[in-house]
Amino acid sequence: HHLVQALRVGRRRQPVLVDRAALPTGQSALFAGEQEPARTGKRFAGFQGLTVINEYGAVAFRADLTNCGEGVYVWDRGQLETIAETGTAFSALGRFPIIDDGGRVAFVADLIEGGSTVMSSTEGRLSVGDFESIRGVLINDRGDVVVYATPPKGTLGIYHLGARLLGVDDEL
């Protein structure tokens, strides 16, 4: 029984289906085409949110760890890279990391010192504006960053550099 998480048809690659599946052994695994980037067991206790694949086949995902932590990871050409884990700087990581075609990963993180922020694997903390809560982030290959977030005394919406693009109660 497969649960389809994302489908990306690339200009430079063959179409690749990315999915998460429950295995007969009771474990869960992530698949990118015929490849298996990760499975539950020694390191991973489970997978959260959507698995995302970029134009070149690099897969970004959020996992729960067997040691009760959380992590954001990228699997690319058979290699697993840790982008961030909870413990030192972060108390929690958002469930929906994103990866652009250059391999830059962005994700929401709750800081141990308090508050939430948007992090980039290449630039560190990104300046996105003042928000009460940040639910997720989207990036593109030009470096544009938008967040779905709630500003202080505001409403949930989509924001770019602190300016609201679309809010929950806005007419389309």
What is the rounded CA–CA span in Å between residue 51 and residue 18?
7
pTM: 0.86
What is the rounded CA–CA span in Å between residue 32 and residue 58?
9
pLDDT at 148 over 50: yes
pLDDT at 6 over 50: no
| Stretch 103-118: mean pLDDT | 94
What is the rounded CA–CA span in Å between residue 33 and residue 58?
12
User: What share of the chain has pLDDT > 90, as a percent?
Assistant: 63
pLDDT of residue 15: 60
pLDDT at 10 over 50: no
Residues 22-67: pLDDT tens digits?
899 999 999 888 888 999 999 999 999 888 989 888 999 999 999 9
Residue 145 makes CB contacts below 8 A (sequence gap 6+) with 106, 118, 126, 128, 137, 138, 139, 160, 161
Q: Classify the C-alpha dihedral 76-101-53-87 as positive or negative.
A: positive
| Stretch 128-152: mean pLDDT | 91
Residues 62-94: pLDDT tens digits?
999 999 999 999 999 899 999 999 998 999 999
Q: Are β-strands 28-32 and 35-39 bridged in parallel, bridged antiparallel, or unpaired?
A: antiparallel
pLDDT of residue 55: 87
What is the rounded CA–CA span in Å between residue 25 and residue 8?
28
